[in-house]
Chains A and B, each alone.
Chain A
Amino acid sequence: EAGVVQSPRYKIIEKKQPVAFWCNPISGHNTLYWYRQNLGQGPELLIRYENEEAVDDSQLPKDRFSAERLKGVDSTLKIQPAELGDSAVYLCASSADRAGEQFFGPGTRLTVL
């Protein structure tokens, strides 16, 4: 069975440019997470979806970040405009409903120049 798929794996952009990350969770997983991980730190939750509904987006910088999960499957995380401080690894994870285990994708490493 395929795991969580993310693309692209790497992205280099200049500041003020937009960028989007895509995530395809494990089939049947209703819960989807987006995390940001800075170097040497643990993953920081940005947003959590239960099906199509964003149930926790308290840590999402809403002035420049947006996310969507249409049809409760794939999800896209967007940053517009990107800032230097947005350079990080963006991780997507999914889990089955009411289960504790999260399955993570390989992440997208974003570099903002």
Chain B
Amino acid sequence: LAKTTQPISMDSYEGQEVNITCSHNNIATNDYITWYQQFPSQGPRFIIQGYKTKVTNEVASLFIPADRKSSTLSLPRVSLSDTAVYYCLVGRYNNNDMRFGAGTRLTVKP
């Protein structure tokens, strides 16, 4: 399983764009990159998943460079309610086998 490295914490202000980068140097050819969000007292919630280049949905964008050794989750115009822990996971899509790291604790300030 590919190991992931993320910043422990980040601070931002309402209305700003937030970029959280995850390093996964030993990502395998068949591995996908998935991001989850977790609020206090709740289970994690799926945000976005991608394999290469860029993926965008109504919540976030995921940027993956050509070498796929890192990825960046981009949250546009964050609000206070985006304060949460964000996890980057790497694993094979059809294997349902991924591991959570410690995540990045994002704090959005007014």
Contacts and interface: CB of A to CB of B under 8 A. Distances in A.
A45 B45 contact: no
Given A43-B44, A91-B43, A107-B43, A100 B100 contact: no
A45 to B, nearest CB: 7
Given A42-B87, A100-B32, A105 B43 contact: yes
B93 to A, nearest CB: 5
A44 B1 CA distance: 14
B96 to A, nearest CB: 5
A42 B101 contact: yes
Nearest to B42: A106
Contacts of B99: 45
A100 B101 contact: no
Interface residues of B, number: 23
Nearest to B105: A40
B107 interface: no
A100 B43 contact: no
Contacts of A31: 96
Given A98-B94, A100-B93, A44 B100 contact: yes
Interface of B: 32, 34, 36, 41-46, 49, 85, 87, 91, 93-94, 96-103
12 contacts: A42-B87, A42-B101, A50-B96, A98-B93, A99-B96, A100-B93, A100-B96, A101-B46, A102-B36, A102-B44, A104-B42, A104-B45
